[in-house]
Amino acid sequence: MPTAELNVLPAPISSGQPITALAPMQDVTTLAFMGVVADYGSPDYFVTEFFRVHDTSRLEKHIVQSIDQNKTGRPIFAQLIGEAIPHLERTVHALLKHPIAGIDLNLGCPAPKVYKKNVGGGLLRDPGRIDEILAALRSVCPGRFTVKMRLGFADSSPYDDILASVKRHRVDMLTVHGRTVKGGYRSEVDYDLIAHAVQSVPCPVLANGNVTSSASAVRIIEKTKAAGVMIGRHAIRNPWIFSQCRSRFAGESYAPVQLRDVYDYVENLFHATRSDNIPEQAHVNRMKKFLNFVGQGVDNQGRFLYDMRRTQSAAELFSVCEKHLLTIPDTLFADEPYAGIIARPNCETPLASTA
C-alpha cells in the first residue's frame, strides 16, 4: 500500500461524523475489555496500553495479543512510551509486523513512577528531546504516526514548541489531553488550549479530558473545533458512550440505559476478563476497580459503591449488583456521573492510568 494511502486515517464508523477513540489505559485496554466495549458500540479507533520501551524491552505479549486477536472490526493503534531513540525505532520495526493502524507516542502519562524516568509526561519538560524523537519516529513509520500529549508538565509553557514539532514532523493525528501532568485528572480541562492546537497543526486533533457523555462530546467539539474526542475513564463507566455519541452527532435520540442493562455489562465484563490463573478474590478486587467508575452513574448517594467495595467474593459482588441494579424495574443509569460521586484515587491507579 502506498505511503500516502497509509497516512490517510481510517474512516469512522459513520461517514462524515467526528472521530471517537478509546483512550489507552494501563490495565484496562486489554483484548478482553476492547471486546466488551465493542459489544456495546465500538469507538472508531482503539489504542493499546503502552509498550514500555528501553534497552532490554521486548514487545509485551498480552499487548501484542490485543492487536493480533482484535476481532472488534475497528483499527487499533500501538502506543509506545520511552525516550531512547534506537530502542523506539527497534520497537516500531517489530510492531510493523503486526496488523496495527499506526504508531502512537505517549507524551502525557502523569504517573510519578513514569514521568520520573523522563518518559510519558516527563518528556514535556524537554521540548528539544521531543523534537528529536518525533523526527526519528516519523522517519521509521511508513504509515500513520500519531501523538497523545498533555499541555505541559507543570504549566503550558512548552506547548507551542511541541505543537511546532508536531507540525514540522508531519504527525498524522494529535490527541490533546487538556491538563498538565501535574494537573492529574482533577484539574480543570483547558479546552481553549485544545482549540489552539486545532488552529496550530495541520493534522486532525482529538480532544481528551472530561468527556463525560455524548452531550459533553458535542459541546467540546463545538468549543474546540476538534476532529473528534478520545474517551477514557467514562467509557469504563458507560461503554454505550460511543454509540450514544454517534446518535447525538447525527441529531438522533437513543434509548436510555437502564440499570438492568448495567447488570448485563458487569456480568459480561466479569466473565470476559476472568482467567483461570487469577484467584477469585483477586479478580473480584480487579472488578471493584472497574465498578468504582460504573458506580458513578448508579445512584446519587453512593450506596452501590459503599456496598460493592466491601465484597470479598464473586457471590457477594453479584448479590450487591442484584440488589442495586435489578430490584427496581426500569430505573435509569445516569448519562452524566453524579456530582460528588467519584472513584477513589487509589482505585484509579494503575487501572485507569492514561495520558
Residues annotated as part of the active site: 109
The CA distances from residue 291 to 9, 105, 206, 215, 278, in Å, are: 33, 29, 27, 23, 18
Nine-digit cell string for 286 = 480487579
d(CA 11, CA 257): 27
Q: Provide the 10 A C-beta neighbour count for residue 142.
A: 14
d(CA 48, CA 50): 6
The CA distances from residue 278 to 191, 283, 285, in Å, are: 41, 6, 11
Nine-digit cell string for 87 = 530502542
Q: Provide the 10 A C-beta neighbour count for residue 56.
A: 5
Burial-class residue 261 by CB neighbours within 10 Å (0-12, 13-18, 19+): middle
Nearest Cα to 19, choosing from 33, 8, 32, 6? 8
d(CA 178, CA 191): 6
Residues, the chain, total?
355
Listed in sequence order, the residues at least 6 apart from 152 whose beta carbon sits closer than 8 Å to its beta carbon are: 124, 158, 159, 180, 181
No. of helices (H) and no. of strands (E), the chain: 15, 8
d(CA 22, CA 30): 11
* Backbone φ and ψ of 68, nearest 5°: -70, -30
Nearest Cα to 77, choosing from 148, 129, 130, 17? 148
Report CA 49 to chain centroid distance, whole Å: 9
